[in-house]
Structure formats: structure tokens, C-alpha cells
Amino acid sequence: MKTTLTTLLFACALGVSAQNPNPIRVNQVGYETLGAKTAAIEHDGWAKNYTLIDANGHRVWKGKATRTAVSPWSGKERAIIDFSAVTTPGTYTLKAGRHTQQVVIADHPYTDLSRASLRAFYLLRSGEALTEEYAGEYARPLGHPDTHVMIHPSAASATRPASSIISCPGGWYDAGDYNKYIVNSAYSVGLMLCAYEMQETYFSTLNTNIPPTDIINGIENLGGEPEYPLPPVLEEIAVNLRWMITMQDPEDGGVYHKLTTPNFEGFVMPTDCHQQRYVVMKSTAAALDFAATMAKAYRIYRKYGQHSKWCGEMMAKAEKAYQWAMEHPDVRYRQDEMNRQFEPAVSTGTYGDERLNDEWFWASVELYLTTGNAAYLSKAQENMQVFNAPSWPNVGGFAYYSAVAAFVGGRGHEAEKASVPYANEIRAHLRNEITNRANTIKYGIGMSCFDSPCGNSASDFGWGCNSEQGCGKGITLLYAYALTGDKAYLNAARQAADYILGRNATGYCYVTGFGTFSPQHPHMRLSEADGIDAPLPGFLVGGPNPGQQDIANVKHYPSNYPDESYSDTMQSYASNEIAINWNAALVALIGWLDAESGK
Ligand code: 9MR
Ligand code: 9MR
């Protein structure tokens, strides 16, 4: 089905945004000067010759399609054109018949996006006033102080009975909603720390214009003089680490699964939210994810503040949470069961996970890498699994990523680096597992409708796929590149970014505020309620999701094809929400690519 005037008008009449009407699909943020540059052109824009015109109106390139590709779902045909030969930075116009599309070529096309994807976390901070100095028009007063959080009956213990009050301020809102969930927080922090340790020079010098940590909210600062000033990226991540720490019961080391209102709030600003907030039951997944994150963070932060009380405590807290998990290995978060037993009933996000081997694997590896303690190593071996790109319910991939940084990049325990038993075997195993996966990911590119490792199979689409599949594949490819030095992986990772940034079936650059056609109505309370037309910038939306679990709210999706099942409407939480885990993957992919640009 072509996008015709009739389909567009039909969509408008229904009040839904259709896809990008421009048949020329490019990476709308930009191509690297010396990198590959391709476009996918939908049927309506087919021409015998395609041209690229520079800012002065001169034609700098003319070429034909190199191939056409057919979508396995819609049957749409797309012409792939390749203008990699153009290697002068600038802003150009790509012409296909009567259609035109802006194309940017730059030495570092991703620097602004990299900053914005990190600043998105600042914009999601909870329990803190955002000042104009740092937030500009997105300044807002403090909401959700979370200094009077109630112990839900499911979380009651001897020292903290039901309805007693604790204080758990700060951290980031999870997503379009205002709750704070440990499982997803740990994933988000974990992934950004992984990227950080693989590209420390880049990330530690990235200026994101955020307020320094020690003025945040009066929460205990680093104390003493840090040996080096904390880089902005680590300051931002510390905001959430500090909140996570408050989610541990100091008595037994257990970690509450989430901090939440019983029901989702309406689409109002934080200061207009008045429901009581609770911490709900402790779970094994929360304890293990917490332990993994704290142990990993300790390895990275100790360089900046090892004498501080805060940093030193992270390790003790990690071990205490792990110990709790050893004593409570089977506590799953099952919200329905919980609601049958306790009041008030809770209907917000679950982040429930039935399979915990991957959490054991990740936590054990992180604790081992930080302490060198063999007991953690044997627990890791018991729970070892094949490599998969990490996602919030499947965090085993982080064990691989951290091990790469330790065994290949030297980021583990000191004793570790010197004389680990089987170190060479471990290196070989990491390399095999990750490159095998990367090779499978790379495989589809030659036939791809979008000249990308993304979007070539039905399993590439679903809730959060832009991040979990799109960015996730790109990040795996970057690890394969780090392990082998083979530039084919780096280039494939760039092609994953091309997909996310516009060379895809809907023609959206899926990051708010970037590109020539991007989401305008993300499912995001802060953005919807702030009275500003444009969405908050720097957020990756979930993406095409044929599950359409929100169909009762959305009423109509522009398409049912898996790769086009995306609705840029505020109602569409299944395809158009934003979330910290999704942005963490954007930070990792785009920051890393920015660090590698020119190579
Ligand atoms: O806004 C909520 C979003 O953050 C969640 O991801 C989503 C799924 O849990 O639920 C959203 O809330 C909707 C609720 O599930 C159903 N009623 C409408 C709510 C707001 O659109
Ligand atoms: O990212 C989560 C996705 O994998 C699940 O399928 C979905 C439904 O359970 O929930 C997503 O997480 C949401 C969370 O439950 C509440 N905050 C918003 C999250 C993003 O939609």
C-alpha cells in the first residue's frame, strides 16, 4: 500500500499521525564524513537517477539504485541507493523524482544527540527542582519528594511494619509514568556503566550541562575532596544510585521491588500528584540486580571518591543484598498474587521476571570482578548462560560485557588481572560468544530493506524494540568490534543507528527533538502536561509493536504490519512511550559511535 493522499487524509480525519509522507528514508541526524551513506526509497520516490545537491545548488553526486528490496510483511519495494562517495561535510538535498530530503554529512554527527540522550535523564529527575540554568524552558518545581513513603503491607518487616514511613528521595522517573522501579533502574545504570568503562575517555569528558552532584537536594554529598572531579555522566548516574540505596532495608539487606502509587497518576505535572507512594515487597530479582549494579558502580566510582562514605558503602550494600538473595532465592514479583493478599491493590508496572538464572549470573560476576572472591565465581559458573544482548528481564549479557571490560580492558579486580585461573580461556569464550551473536546480527544486512541489521525479522518488533532490538544489536556489534578490531562490526553498528534515526519503515527518526520527522506525542506525563508543544528532547520512543496492547486506548494504528505498527499518539504506551532503559541503550550506542567517529 502506498502512502497516498487518501490514506493521509483518512488518518488525519481519525486524528492519528500517519507515517512520514516522504518516501526518502535516511538517517536524519547525519552520516559520518568518511562512512557509508545509503538511503532507502519507497516506491513513490523511484527515479532513474538520484542526485545529491549541495548548499550552493551544485550537484555533487548522481547515481542509480544499487538494489531493490521487498518487505516480507507489506510487500513494499524499496530502492537502496549509496552515496558514500560524497565525503565533504555539509548539508545537502537528496532528490528522488519530485521528492527531496535533507541529508547531513559531518565529522561528528552524533555529539549533540549523545549529549541530549544523557540530558534526558536529567529531565527525568524526580524529587528535585529543575532550574532554568540547567533545564531552560523545561524548568519545573520539585515534585514527588518521596520523603514520606509508606511501607506497603507486602513489604512489612519487624522493624518496618506496614504503614510506617521511610524516605527514598531522588532518582529518575522510570518512563512516561512517575514510579521508580529497581529492576529497570539497575538495568539502566548497568548498561550506561558498561558503555562508560568501554569508552571512559569519551564519556568522562562529555559535557552534559547538569548541576553538580553535591548540590543535589541536600542528599549526602561525596564527602571530603574527591581525587578527581566526578564527570557529569557519573554525576547523573549517581543521582539514581543514591535513590537505589534508599530502597534497601538496612536491617536485612532485602531490596524493595519498586516505589509506586497504587495506580498510575493522570497526565499531570509532578506537583499535581497527590496519591500516597509506597514501597512494595522485596524480591530476589531486585536484590540481585541491586547487588550487581552496586558492585559494578563501586569499581568505577572508587577512583573518584574512594574515601567517601557513600562509595565505600556501595560494596557492603551489594554484598548484603546478595546475601539476602541467597537466603530468599525464589521471591518472584507476582503482582496479582500480592494483590490477593494485601491492600491497597497495586496496578502499576510489574517488571516481573520468573527466570532468575541470568540475575544470579550477572550479580555473581560483578561481585567476583570487584572482590576476587572465588565463592562468587563458582556461583557464576553454576548460572552461566549463552550470550544475549541484555534486556531488563534478561541481564546475563551484562556478565559478558563486564567481563570484557575486566579481562580485555583491565577493569576488574587487581588480583584478577594478574593471575586469574583460565584467563585465556575466559577471553576466548567471551570472544566466541559475542562474535557469534554479532555475526548472526550482521547476517541480514545484505538483504535488508533498510540496509541495516535491524528490522529484518518479525522478532525485531515489540514493546521497546527500538531500544532492546535496535540499539541492543548495535551495542553487541560494538563489543564484537572491541574484541576483534574488525571494522565490519563497527560499520554494522552504524547501520543500526541509521535505522533508529530514520532509515526504517515508518520514516520516523525515533528520538524526540532530532531529525526532520520525529515523534511529537510520546506517552510521557511530563511532556504532555508541561504546556510546551514540543516534546522533551532526547528521548527514544518504544517503536513498532504489533502486540498493540494499548489498542483500546489508541483506537487506530496507522498500520498492522509489524514494522509499521507504530502510532505517534500520546495514548500509545505500547509503541510510543519513553523509558530509562531505552534511553540508556541510546546513550550507549550513540555515545560509543560518537567516540569512534572518524575510525
Ligand atoms: O501510563 C502507563 C504506562 O507508563 C505503562 O507503560 C502502561 C502499561 O503498564 O500503562 C500506562 O497506563 C495506562 C494503563 O495501563 C491503562 N489505562 C490508561 C493508562 C494511561 O494511558
Ligand atoms: O518495558 C516493559 C515491557 O518490556 C513490558 O512488555 C511492558 C508491559 O509489562 O512494560 C514495560 O515497562 C513499562 C513499565 O511496566 C512501567 N513504566 C513504563 C515502562 C515502559 O513502557
According to the 3-state scheme, what is the secondary structure of 490-542? HHHHHHHHHHHCCCCCCCCCCECCCCCCCCCCCECHHHHHCCCCCCCCCCECC
Catalytic residue among 498, 568, 594, 596: 568
Query: What would the pLDDT profile of 478-534 be if each residue is shown by its tens digit?
Result: 999 999 999 999 999 999 999 999 999 999 999 999 999 999 999 999 999 999 999
Q: Whose CA is nearest to atom 21 of ligand 1?
A: 571
Cα gap 94→31, rounded to integer Å: 13
Q: Are 217 and 226 in contact (CB under 8 A)?
A: no
What number is the average pLDDT over the span 312-336? 96
Read off the pLDDT of each residue in 431-441 and give the average, rounded to a whole number: 97
If phi > 0 it is left, if psi is from -120 to 50 it is alpha, else beta; for residue 165 that is beta
Answer for the pair 83, 90: CB distance below 8 angstroms, yes or no: no
For the record, the C-alpha cell of 391 comes out as: 534486556
Our answer on whether the CB atom of 264 is closer than 6 Å to any ligand 1 atom is yes
What's the rounded Cα separation, in Å, for the pair 109 and 590?
10
Q: Which helix (H) or strand (E) holds 327?
A: helix 309-327
598: left (phi over 0), alpha (psi -120 to 50) or beta: left
Region 398-420 average pLDDT: 74
Q: Which amino acid is at 307?
A: H
Q: Give which of 430, 522, 531 is closest to 482, Cα–Cα.
A: 430
User: DSSP state, 530?
Assistant: S
As to burial, measured by CB atoms within 10 angstroms (0-12 exposed, 13-18 middle, 19+ buried), residue 98 is exposed
Q: What is the pLDDT of residue 419?
A: 57
| Beta bridge mates, 24 | 41
Identify the residue whose cell numbers are 550494600.
Answer: 317
Out of 42, 252, 433, 577, which one is annotated catalytic? 577
**What mean pLDDT do residues 182-190 have?**
98
| CA–CA gap between residue 274 and residue 255 (Å, rounded) | 25
Short-list 514, 496, 582, 586, CA closest to 542: 582
First-to-last C-alpha distance (Å) of the chain: 40
Query: Alpha-carbon distance 135 to 208, whole Å?
Result: 11
Among 264, 351, 545, 549, name the best residue to mutate to test ligand 1's pocket (greatest count of ligand atoms within 8 A of Cβ): 264
Report CA dihedral (550, 554, 560, 566) to the nearest 10 degrees. -90
Q: Out of 31-45, 409-423, 548-562, which region has the weakest mean confidence (pLDDT)? A: 409-423
| pLDDT score of 6 more than 80 | no
The confidence score (pLDDT) of residue 205 equals 94
pLDDT band at 254 (very low <50, low <70, confident <90, very high): very high
Q: How far apart are CA 190 and CA 399, in angstroms?
A: 10
Name the residue with the closest Cα to ligand 1, atom 12.
Answer: 264
Q: Is residue 2 pLDDT above 50, yes or no?
A: no
Q: How far apart are CA 306 and CA 304, in angstroms?
A: 6
Q: How confident is the model at residue 281 (pLDDT cuts 50, 70, 90)?
A: very high
Give the model's confidence band at 427: pLDDT under 50 very low, under 70 low, under 90 confident, else very high.
Answer: confident
Choose between 552 and 423: higher pLDDT: 552
Among the residue ranges 86-95, 206-215, 444-453, 488-497, the one predicted with the least confidence is 206-215
Where do we find the cell 540547567? 134
Catalytic one among 32, 42, 112, 177? 177
Give the model's pLDDT for residue 412.
64
| H helix count then E strand count, the chain | 21, 14
State which ligand 2 atom lies nearest to the alpha carbon of 351.
Answer: 15
Could you give the dihedral angle defined by the CA atoms of residues 280, 283, 289 and 291, in that order, rounded to the nearest 10 degrees? 100
- Report the separation in Å between the CA atom of 130 and the middle of ligand 1, taken as the mean of its atom positions: 25
Gap from CA of 585 to ligand 2 centroid (Å): 15
Q: What pLDDT shows up at residue 11?
A: 46
Vertex 100: Cα angle to 35 and 23 (nearest 5) = 85
Ligand 2 atom nearest to 582, measured from its CA: 1
Q: Is the beta carbon of 314 within 6 A of some atom in ligand 2?
A: no
- In order of 89, 292, 486, the CA distances from 307 in angstroms are 47, 21, 40
Contact status, residue 40 vs residue 450, Cβ threshold 8 Å = yes
**Is the pLDDT score of 326 beyond 90?**
yes
Let me know if 523 is a catalytic residue: yes
Residue 130 phi/psi, 5-degree rounding, is -95, 125
260-276 per-position pLDDT tens digit: 999 999 999 999 999 99
Judged by average pLDDT, the poorest of 163-172, 221-230, 339-348, 501-510 is: 221-230
Give the number of the atom of ligand 2 that is nearest the alpha carbon of residue 523. Answer: 21
pLDDT digits (tens, 9 = 90+) for 23-68: 999 999 999 999 999 999 999 999 999 999 999 999 999 999 999 9
Residue 17: pLDDT above 80? no
Name, in order, each residue with C-beta under 8 angstroms of 249's C-beta and a sequence gap of 6 or more: 157, 159, 160, 255, 256, 282
8 Å CB contact between 314 and 301: yes
What's the average model confidence in pLDDT over 582-591? 98
Is 550 touching ligand 2 by the criterion CB < 6 Å? no
pLDDT band at 413, cuts 50/70/90? low
Mean pLDDT of 434-446: 96
By most ligand atoms within 8 Å of CB, the mutation choice from 351, 553, 573 for ligand 1 is 573
What is the structure's pLDDT at 426? 83
**Which of helix, strand or coil describes residue 401?**
helix
301 falls in which pLDDT band (50, 70, 90)?
confident
Expressed in angstroms and rounded, the spacing between residue 264 Cα and the centre of ligand 1 is: 7
Ligand 1 proximity of 373 Cβ (cutoff 6 Å):
no
Would you call 568 a catalytic residue per the annotation?
A: yes
Whether 214 sits among the annotated catalytic residues: the reply is no
**Cα–Cα distance measured from residue 195 to residue 203, given in angstroms and rounded to the nearest whole number:** 8
Query: Between the CA of residue 346 and those of 43, 130, 532, what are the distances in Å?
Result: 49, 29, 31
> Half-sphere exposure (CA, 13 Å, Cβ side) for 225?
2
User: In the prediction, which pLDDT does 13 show?
Assistant: 42
Q: How far is the CA of 542 from the centre of ligand 2 (A)?
A: 10
Residue among 184, 524, 575, 578 to mutate when testing ligand 2 (max atoms within 8 A of CB): 184
- Which ligand sits nearest to residue 547's alpha carbon? 2
Determine whether the shortest distance from the Cβ of 522 to ligand 2 is under 6 A: no
The pLDDT value given to residue 362: 98
Q: Measured from the CB, is residue 189 less than 6 Å from ligand 2?
A: no
Q: Is the CB of 573 under 6 A from ligand 1?
A: yes
pTM of this prediction?
0.95
Q: SS3 of 513, please?
A: coil
Q: Which of 99, 257, 521, 523 is catalytic?
A: 523
pLDDT at 9 over 60: no
Q: Which residue has the higher pLDDT, 225 or 386?
A: 386
Mean pLDDT (whole number) for 286-290? 99
Q: How far is it, in rounded angstroms, from Cα 359 to Cα 328?
A: 14
Please give the average per-residue pLDDT across 279-293, as a whole number.
Answer: 98
Q: Please report how the helices 580-596 and 182-198 are oriented relative to each other, as an axis angle in degrees rounded to 10.
A: 0
pLDDT for position 555: 81
For residue 420, name the pLDDT band (cuts at 50, 70, 90). low
How high does pLDDT run on average in the chain? 92
Give the confidence band of 222 by pLDDT, cuts at 50, 70, 90.
Answer: very low
Nearest protein Cα to ligand 2, atom 10: 349
Q: Which atom of ligand 2 is nearest to the CA of 352?
A: 9
Atom nearest to 176 CA in ligand 2:
18
85: which 3 cell numbers? 562517495
pLDDT of residue 156: 98
Q: Give the position, in ligand 2's atom list, of the atom nearest the Cα of 549.
A: 8
The residue nearest atom 1 of ligand 2, judged by CA position, is 464
- The rounded Å distance from CA 487 to ligand 2 centre is 35
577 classed as catalytic: yes
Which residues, other chains included, contact 337 with Cβ-Cβ below 8 Å and sequence gap of 6+?
A: none
| Greatest mean pLDDT range, 205-209, 305-309, 312-316, 390-394 | 390-394
At residue 122, the pLDDT reads: 97
Cβ(265) – ligand 1 distance below 6 Å? no
- CB of 454 closer than 8 Å to CB of 40: no
How many other C-beta atoms can be found within 10 angstroms of the C-beta atom of residue 145?
A: 17
Distance 523 CA to ligand 1 centre (A): 9
Cell of 435: 562474535
What is the number of the ligand closest to the CA of 173? 2
Using 50, 70 and 90 to split pLDDT, how confident is the model at 568? very high
Higher pLDDT, 87 or 372: 87
Q: How far apart are alpha carbons 43 and 262 in whole angstroms?
A: 49
By mean pLDDT, which of 109-113, 138-142, 370-374, 583-587 is the weakest? 370-374
Q: Which atom of ligand 1 is nearest to the CA of 549?
A: 8
